[in-house]
Amino acid sequence: MRKLIFLFLLSSLILVSACSNQSAAPKAKYVFLFIGDGMGTNQVYSTQLFKAALEGKADLAELNFTTFPVQSHMTTYSANSRVTCSAASGTALATGNKTNNGVLGKDTSLTINFESVAEKAKKAGFKVGILSSVGINHATPGSFYAHQNSRGMYYEIAKELPLSSFDYFGGGGFINPTGRDKSLPDAYQLATEAGYTLANTVEAINSLKAGDEKVFAVNPGIYPGGDFYWRIDNKEESLSLAHFVKKGIELLANPQGFFMMVEGGKIDWACHSNDAAASIHETLDFDKAVAEALAFYRQYPDETLIIVTADHETGGMIVGNGHEVNMGLLQYQNISAQEFGRTLVNFKENNPGASFDEVMALVQNHFGLDDATKGLELTPDEVKLFKTVYAELFKGDKGLNPDKDYLASNETLTLPDLALRVLSKKAGISWASNDHSGTPVPVFALGQGQSHFNTRIDNTDIPKIVGKVMGLE
Ligand SMILES: [Zn+2]
C-alpha cells in the first residue's frame, strides 16, 4: 500500500513537472525590437519632461514605453572601444557578437559572417520586417541582413537587402543607390528584379495589404540620403514611423509569427548636433511607433514581446546643468538645425546686406530667442556671441553649408549651432560632445519573456533572449 501511494505520488510529481515544463516555456510568436538610435536615459527623460511641460504637469509625463513593467539598463561597448558606433552595436543587437567599430555583421578579423536573429527567424518560418527612419542600408537596419567589412559600403549593403528574402522593409530609402560615383546598377531596380514590390508613394504604401510578399515601402518624404524629414519640421509629405509599423503589422501578422525591428534613427542625428528639441520630437515620433505595437500586444498579450532600447547614447546629454530645468522652453523651436541652415542660405542670397536685427528676427521666429514674453531673453554676453557669428556669416561663407551646419564642431560655431547651444542652456540641458558616449542605455520590456530583461544586460544579450523566447535556439 505504502509502495502504491509512493508510486502514485511519484507519477503525480512527474505529471506536474511535465505540465509546468510545458507552461514554463511558452513562445513569443510576435516580437518587436525597437531601437532608438542614440536614445540614452536623458533623451527619454527630457522627452518626458517636455511632454509634462506641454501638459501642464508638475511631475513626469509617461511615454508609451516608459509605462512598460520591466525597465533596466544595458552596456553597449564594442570589441575595440568603450564607445561604440552604430555598426558594432547593431551587430551586437542583431547577432549577439561584439565586433570592432565600423564593422557590420562580421567578426573582428573580417572573416566570419555572423547570422542575425532576423535571419534565424526567417529560416524558422517567421515573417521578418526591418524598418528605419533613416536609410535602410544604414548601420542599424543593415546589421540585421548584411555582412560587410565597413558600414560605409552602402551600395554593397543595399545589394544584400534582396538576398535576405525578408518579407518587409519599410521607412527609409537607400543611401547611394547607384554607388558612390553614381555609376552602378540601381539598387532599387536590383531589389525589384529580385521580386520585391517597391511602394514609394502614399497611395502605393496604403494599398499594400496582408498577403503581399517581399515589400519595400519607402517614405515619399525623405532627404536624398534616404532619411525621413525631421519630425520637428512637420512636413506633411513625410509619413511617420508609426505609419510603417502599422502597415508592417498588417503585412506580417500570421499564425507562424513575426520578428520586426524598428529603428528611430534620427534621435542620434539630432544629438550629434546637440539639438535637444529635434531629439525630443524624434523620440515622441518613435514612441508613437511603439504605440502601434502596443495596440497589437493588447490583442495577443500572451504571444507578444515588445523590447525598446538603444544602440548607444549620443552627445552625453545631461538634464540639469546647475540651473533650473525648463524643458517647456524647447517648444519655441520649430525648425531643425539642418532646415534653419537652408533658410539662412536663402535669406543671405536674397538679403546680402541684412542687418543684425533682421537676422535675429529669424532666430526669434524659429527658436523664440530674445523673446522675453517666452522667458527667452538673451544676456549681454549671448547677444555679443550672436553678433560675432552674424559678422562671420555675412563676411564669408562660414556656417552656410546646410548639410554641414547641423553637424558642425565647436571650432566652427555657426548660427544654428549657437541658437541650439543657447536654447539648450536655458532649458537646463548640457552636452558632453558631438559624438557618442559610452554610458549604458535603458531597456524597456513588455509581454511574453519580459522577465529576461529584469536585470542589467549587455547589448549581445538581446538577440540571445529573443532567440530563446522565439524558440530559435
Ligand atoms: Zn551616431
Q: How far is the CA of 28 from the centre of ligand 1 (A)?
A: 31
How far, in Å, are 4, 10, 11, 13, 14 from residue 1 at the CA level?
Answer: 5, 14, 15, 18, 20
- Burial-class residue 298 by CB neighbours within 10 Å (0-12, 13-18, 19+): exposed
Q: How far is the CA of 285 from the centre of ligand 1 (A)?
A: 18
Answer whether 219's CB lies under 8 Å from 239's CB.
yes
- Residue 180: name the closest of 146, 156, 209, 213 by CA: 156
Answer whether 253's CB lies under 8 Å from 129's CB.
no
**pLDDT (0 to 100) of residue 13:** 45
Q: What is the dihedral of CA 33, 38, 40, 44, to 10 degrees?
A: -80
Using DSSP's 3-state secondary structure scheme, residue 167 falls into coil
Q: How far is the CA of 437 from the centre of ligand 1 (A)?
A: 10
How far, in Å, are 95, 114, 168, 473 from residue 90 at the CA level?
Answer: 8, 12, 19, 20
Contacts of 427 (CB under 8 A, 6+ apart): 276, 325, 326, 327, 329, 330
Q: How far is the CA of 314 from the centre of ligand 1 (A)?
A: 6
- Residue 118: name the closest of 258, 268, 322 by CA: 258
How far, in Å, are 32, 89, 368, 460 from residue 463 at the CA level?
Answer: 12, 12, 44, 7
d(CA 194, CA 191): 5
Q: How far is the CA of 202 from the centre of ligand 1 (A)?
A: 29
How far, in Å, are 135, 158, 178, 408 from residue 181 at the CA level?
Answer: 18, 15, 7, 25
Answer whether 330's CB lies under 8 Å from 428's CB.
no
- Residue 48: name the closest of 36, 64, 61 by CA: 61
Q: How far is the CA of 38 from the centre of ligand 1 (A)?
A: 6
**pLDDT (0 to 100) of residue 397:** 54
d(CA 57, CA 72): 25
For CA atoms 462, 465, 468, 473, give the dihedral sign: positive
Q: How far is the CA of 43 from the centre of ligand 1 (A)?
A: 14
Q: How far is the CA of 266 from the centre of ligand 1 (A)?
A: 9
Q: How far is the CA of 327 from the centre of ligand 1 (A)?
A: 23
Beta carbons within 10 angstroms of residue 195's beta carbon: 10
Answer whether 210's CB lies under 8 Å from 175's CB.
no
DSSP string for residues in 28-52: --EEEEEEETT--HHHHHHHHHHHH
In the block, which residue shows the cell 508609451? 64
- Residue 157: name the closest of 86, 80, 77, 240 by CA: 86
For the beta sheet containing 441-447, the strands, ordered from the edge strand earlier in sequence to the opposite edge, are 197-199, 215-218, 168-171, 127-132, 258-264, 30-36, 304-310, 441-447, 70-75, 457-458
Cell reading at 62:
509617461
For the chain (473 residues), the mean pLDDT of every run of 10, in chain order, is 50 43 67 98 98 95 98 98 97 98 98 98 97 98 98 98 98 97 97 98 97 96 96 93 98 97 98 96 98 98 98 97 92 95 90 92 97 96 90 66 43 82 96 96 98 97 98 89
**pLDDT (0 to 100) of residue 288:** 98
Cell reading at 369:
530667442
Contacts of 36 (CB under 8 A, 6+ apart): 43, 44, 263, 264, 267, 283, 286, 308, 309, 310
Q: How far is the CA of 311 from the centre of ligand 1 (A)?
A: 9
Q: How far is the CA of 77 from the centre of ligand 1 (A)?
A: 14
**pLDDT (0 to 100) of residue 38:** 98
Instruction: Spell out the domain ranges in the chain.
Output: 30-318+434-470, 327-427
CATH for the 30-318+434-470 domain, from 3.50.50.60, 3.40.720.10, 3.40.50.1010, 3.30.450.40? 3.40.720.10
CA angle at residue 58 from 54 to 62, to 5 degrees?
A: 65
Using DSSP's 3-state secondary structure scheme, residue 145 falls into coil
Q: How far is the CA of 92 from the centre of ligand 1 (A)?
A: 16
pTM higher than 0.85:
yes
How far, in Å, are 48, 73, 74, 116, 312 from residue 41 at the CA level?
Answer: 11, 9, 11, 26, 10
Using DSSP's 3-state secondary structure scheme, residue 319 falls into strand
Answer whether 88's CB lies under 8 Å from 78's CB.
yes
